């Protein structure tokens, strides 16, 4: 079966565009200490997505740092979606910065896919956002086509920001892309080690063997590499309503009760789907207000979102509508409907852990997440590392609690127990001075030639050093030029009875933790 | 032979307390670490305890109930040392961290009281009286224990570290092995008078143990700990 032709519009570096950063200025958007987006200027200086903020600042010291704000991004993207909707109906938001449209109908109307793509691009450009458009079989290939279009338009040959891949050559277009574009890191790591480096290599393998070796994920990847839909479409009896709805009585003006309702609606919808062994590709969010107006928007789901993640999207959407003035009155009705059903190949939201959680605790944690955001409620998970901050990962409630690196592995250079009771999330800069008032030096051979006598905190407090020990040198990831660090730690006692764990890196001292 | 009027009165009282659903949390308390018992026999359900800042003492208070299977939540302490807490006996599996509640910390604590047994909170500023009254009342009715790092009007017990001495570090050699502290408890929850005890907080293996320092400190401590 042929896959529906799709048009994907991609706004590059959306997290930065959404907060109005000039691409010529070096800027990054950071979430939990890692770069999630960087401007063209920062990229030219060597900053990459996924880097730690500290490393990014090393490449580009004057980089402007912004916090990740998914709400704001979704709100700003509503402008882009509105511009797209002027040109074609049924816009589906994959995530802020990326949206798709089924292209078959509009292509007949405008007279060709190229014409649709150009119209959509112009509509978005006119509203003041840079973008690229790709058309291909399915959203996966169309997304890659949009990215290719962007690269071409940045190149010298002056592309138009539009790339149309004909149905017959979708597989050929996909073939040279590396498997990493599948965004299934666990699977692609193994594939690369097996010598399967491109989508073409993957497509060349027999489908049955891929399924036998890699399971449902592998099969989905194989289908994508062929330019097919990731999962086989499911048929169902017409008229069966799998959605879930909620009527607000009295109507509510705040988004919090709506989001809370959305969480239970999403759970109900997932239960409905799970009872029939189905998953949905998209979810439609529909809201009706007291003045009788109704709004709806499609969001990409792919069977991967938890109930809470759906509720988060409902919140983004409601905020976006409110900001644009489309949802002025109080909310009376909210409905979530699954769209485009596929066979659920099985994914457990949680494997271990959740079942042993107290119901009351689970309820309050969910409630707090609705109130403060998904990442605001965390559980500590022991993790491997030398520094005290690296020994614990804070995993958002409801996410899988698997440690990122092994705890039991020996970590040479680790400071012995007992552990400090106050660990700063980011080390705080301090000055550690010797008798001559100069910063204490730790030599390359881990010798401290001049002992420390005075510790000056960030707020100017001066403390006398009554004892010190160390250093514990650590050379982390010396094989990796980007993430490698060389540093040394010192335990220092001060006259106020506190003990400090100090860190020196490139001649600069900072307090990593306090034994309080 | 019992006085019939007494029986009548008892029955009436039982009837009233059933109807009011007065839950008598005073009778049950969450266990404290054995080393802490000389200063605080247990964390009574529904009471508020203060400590003098986020540190080992706050973690040690949480460790007792956590060890016994209770859930704990920590609000507004982004720099909590989780390894130190687990060294004292806290179970990280049963811990919720709300690092940055911002202005909504009161709502967060109110939501948590009742769902988890111990809530450790570090208020961003001194809490105003209405907030104190609201949260204290919530703690009382829900039967959870509220541990506040900072000042709190009407707290049942106030714990602080009075003197502390780290051992194991010289001038350029050794490593931190443990800290001997004198923990002082005051307030109604501590029996109406000030009690104190010498503790290893933490000891060389990260745990909390009594420190045999009576001889060093003299009679004053011996009398205080008795």
In the block, tokens 């450009």 appear at A125
Question: Is residue A46 a part of any domain in this protein?
Answer: yes
Facing A367 at nearest CB: one of B111, B173, B175:
B111
Low-confidence ranges of chain B (pLDDT < 50): 21-26, 214-226
Domain boundary among B97, B130, B149: B149
Are B102 and B179 in a shared domain? Answer: no
Taking the C-alpha atoms of residue B114 and residue A100, their distance in angstroms, rounded to an integer, is 46
Q: In terms of C-beta density within 10 A (0-12 exposed, 13-18 middle, 19 or more buried), how is residue A34 classed?
A: middle
Beta-bridge mates of residue B115: none
Domain boundary among B128, B149, B170: B149
Question: Is residue B164 a part of any domain in this protein?
Answer: yes
A441 in reach of chain B (CB within 8 A): no
- A-B contacts (CB, under 8 Å): 148
Taking the C-alpha atoms of residue B202 and residue A499, their distance in angstroms, rounded to an integer, is 12
Print the domain residue range for A271.
244-343
Are A51 and A112 in a shared domain? Answer: yes
Q: Are A423 and B163 inside 8 Å of each other by CB?
A: no
Maximum separation of any 2 CA atoms in chain A, in Å: 84
Distance set, CA A42 to CA A30, A39, A226, A249, A376 (Å): 13, 5, 35, 50, 28
Question: Is residue A376 a part of any domain in this protein?
Answer: no
pLDDT of residue B63: 92
Spell out which residues of chain B touch residue A382, defining contact as CB-CB under 8 Å. 82-83, 86, 92
pLDDT of residue B219: 38
Q: Over the stretch A458-490, which tens digit does the pLDDT of each residue have?
A: 888 899 999 998 788 887 766 666 666 788 888
pLDDT of residue B24: 46
A394 in reach of chain B (CB within 8 A): yes
CA-based nearest distance B146→chain A, Å: 16
pLDDT of residue B114: 80
Please state the pTM of the whole predicted model.
0.53
Are B142 and B165 in a shared domain? Answer: no
Q: Are A371 and B107 inside 8 Å of each other by CB?
A: yes
Q: Among residues 486-505 of chain A, which lie with CB inside 8 Å of chain B?
A: 491, 493, 497, 499
E strand or H helix at A66: strand A64-67
Are A107 and A191 in a shared domain? Answer: no
pLDDT of residue B112: 92
Residue B73 sits in a domain whose CATH number is: 3.40.50.300
pLDDT of residue A101: 87
B208 in reach of chain A (CB within 8 A): no
Q: Among residues 58-77 of chain B, which lie with CB inside 8 Å of chain A?
A: 59, 71
pLDDT of residue B19: 54
Are A260 and A325 in a shared domain? Answer: yes
Are A181 and A121 in a shared domain? Answer: no
Say if residues B186 and B211 touch (Cβ distance below 8 Å).
no
Are B136 and B170 in a shared domain? Answer: no
3-state secondary structure chain B: CCCHHHHHHHHHHHHHHHHHCCCCHHHCEEECCHHHCCCCCEEECCCEEEECCCCHHHHHHHHHHHHCCCCEEEECCCCECHHHHHHHCCCHHHEEEECCCHHHHHHHHHHHECCECEEEECCCCCCCHHHHHHHHHHHHHHCCEEEEECCCCCCCEEEEEEEEEEEEECECCEEEEEEEEEEEEECHHHCCCCEEEEEECCCCCCCCEECCCHHHHCHHHHHHHC
pLDDT per 10-residue tile (average), chain A, 516 residues: 78 85 83 84 84 85 83 82 83 85 86 88 86 88 88 67 85 87 84 89 86 83 78 55 83 83 87 79 85 82 74 84 80 85 57 49 83 85 79 78 59 79 89 88 83 89 89 75 77 89 88 88
Domain boundary among B149, B183, B199: B149
CA-based nearest distance B36→chain A, Å: 17
CA-based nearest distance A21→chain B, Å: 26
E strand or H helix at A121: helix A113-126
Q: Phi and psi dihedrals of A453, rounded to 5?
A: -125, -20
Are A28 and A151 in a shared domain? Answer: yes
pLDDT of residue B123: 92
CA-based nearest distance B222→chain A, Å: 23
Residue A263 sits in a domain whose CATH number is: 3.30.1490.100
CA-based nearest distance B154→chain A, Å: 26
Q: In terms of C-beta density within 10 A (0-12 exposed, 13-18 middle, 19 or more buried), how is residue A85 classed?
A: middle
B205 in reach of chain A (CB within 8 A): yes
Are B130 and B215 in a shared domain? Answer: no
Are A19 and A125 in a shared domain? Answer: yes
pLDDT of residue B121: 94
Question: Is residue B205 a part of any domain in this protein?
Answer: yes
Question: Is residue A65 a part of any domain in this protein?
Answer: yes
Question: Considering its fold, how many domains does chain A have in total?
Answer: 4
Vertex A305 angle, CA A299 and A308, to 5°: 100
In the block, tokens 């029996």 appear at B191
Print the domain residue range for B165.
159-222
Question: Considering its fold, how many domains does chain B have in total?
Answer: 2
């Amino acid at each position: 079966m042929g896959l529906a032709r799709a048009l994907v519009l991609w706004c590059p570096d959306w997290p930065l565009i959404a907060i109005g950063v000039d691409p010529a200025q070096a800027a990054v958007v950071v979430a939990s200490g890692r770069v999630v987006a960087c401007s063209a200027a920062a990229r030219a200086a060597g900053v990459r997505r996924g880097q730690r903020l500290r490393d990014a600042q090393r490449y580009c010291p004057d980089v402007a740092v912004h916090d990740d704000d998914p709400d704001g991004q979704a709100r700003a993207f509503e402008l882009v979606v509105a511009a797209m909707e002027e040109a074609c109906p049924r816009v589906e938001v994959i995530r802020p910065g990326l949206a798709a449209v089924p292209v078959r109908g509009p292509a007949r109307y405008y007279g060709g896919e190229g014409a649709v793509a150009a119209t959509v691009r112009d509509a978005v450009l006119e509203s003041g956002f840079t973008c690229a458009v790709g058309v291909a079989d399915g959203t996966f290939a169309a997304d890659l086509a949009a990215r290719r279009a962007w690269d071409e338009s940045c190149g010298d040959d002056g592309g138009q920001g539009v790339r149309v891949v004909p149905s017959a050559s979708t597989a050929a277009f996909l073939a040279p892309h590396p498997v990493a574009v599948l965004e299934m890191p666990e699977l692609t790591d193994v594939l690369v080690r097996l010598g399967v480096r491109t989508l073409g290599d993957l497509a060349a393998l027999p489908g049955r063997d891929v399924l036998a070796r890699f399971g449902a994920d592998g099969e989905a990847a194989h289908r994508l590499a062929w330019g097919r839909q990731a999962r086989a479409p499911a048929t169902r009896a017409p008229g069966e309503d799998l959605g879930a709805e909620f009527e607000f009585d009295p109507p509510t003006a705040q988004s919090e009760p709506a989001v809370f309702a959305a969480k239970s609606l999403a759970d109900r919808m997932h239960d409905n789907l799970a009872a029939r062994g189905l998953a949905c590709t998209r979810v439609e969010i529909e809201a009706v207000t007291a003045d009788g107006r109704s709004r709806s928007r499609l969001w990409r789901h792919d069977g991967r979102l938890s109930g809470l993640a759906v509720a988060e999207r409902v919140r983004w959407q409601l905020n976006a509508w409110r900001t644009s003035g489309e949802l002025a009155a109080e909310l009376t009705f909210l409905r979530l409907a699954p769209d485009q059903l596929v066979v659920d190949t099985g994914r457990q939201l949680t494997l271990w852990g959740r079942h042993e959680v107290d119901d009351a605790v689970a309820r309050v944690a969910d409630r707090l997440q609705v109130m403060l955001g998904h990442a605001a409620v965390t559980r500590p998970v022991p993790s491997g590392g030398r520094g005290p901050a690296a020994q614990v990962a804070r995993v958002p409630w409801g996410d899988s609690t698997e440690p990122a690196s092994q705890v039991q592995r020996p970590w040479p250079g680790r400071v012995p127990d007992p552990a400090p009771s106050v660990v700063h999330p980011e080390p705080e800069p301090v000055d550690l001075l010797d008798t001559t008032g100069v910063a204490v030096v730790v030599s390359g051979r881990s010798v401290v030639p001049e002992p420390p006598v005075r510790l000056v905190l960030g707020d100017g407090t001066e403390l006398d050093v009554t004892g010190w020990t160390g250093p514990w040198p650590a050379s982390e990831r010396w094989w990796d030029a980007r993430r490698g660090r060389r540093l040394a730690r010192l335990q220092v006692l001060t006259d106020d009875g506190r003990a400090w764990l100090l860190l020196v890196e490139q001649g600069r001292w900072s307090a990593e933790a306090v034994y309080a | 032979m019992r006085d019939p009027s007494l029986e009548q009165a008892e029955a009436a009282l039982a009837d009233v307390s059933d109807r009011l659903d007065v839950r008598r949390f005073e009778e049950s308390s969450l266990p404290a670490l054995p080393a802490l018992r000389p200063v605080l026999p247990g964390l009574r359900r529904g009471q508020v305890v203060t400590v003098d800042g986020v540190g080992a003492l706050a973690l040690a208070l949480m460790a007792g109930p956590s060890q016994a299977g209770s859930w704990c939540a920590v609000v507004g302490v982004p720099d909590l040392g989780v390894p130190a807490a687990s060294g004292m006996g806290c179970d990280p599996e049963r811990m919720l961290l709300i690092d940055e509640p911002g202005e909504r910390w009161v709502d967060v604590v109110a939501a948590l009281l009742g769902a988890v047994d111990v809530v450790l909170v570090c208020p961003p500023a001194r809490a105003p009286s209405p907030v104190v009254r609201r949260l204290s009342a919530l703690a009382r009715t829900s039967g959870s224990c509220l541990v506040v790092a900072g000042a709190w009007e009407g707290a049942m017990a106030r714990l602080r570290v009075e003197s502390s001495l780290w051992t194991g570090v010289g001038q350029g050699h050794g490593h931190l092995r443990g800290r001997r502290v004198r923990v002082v408890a005051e307030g109604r929850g501590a029996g109406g008078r000030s009690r104190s005890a010498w503790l290893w907080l933490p000891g060389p293996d990260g745990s909390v143990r009594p420190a045999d320092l009576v001889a060093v400190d003299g009679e004053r401590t011996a009398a205080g700990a008795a």
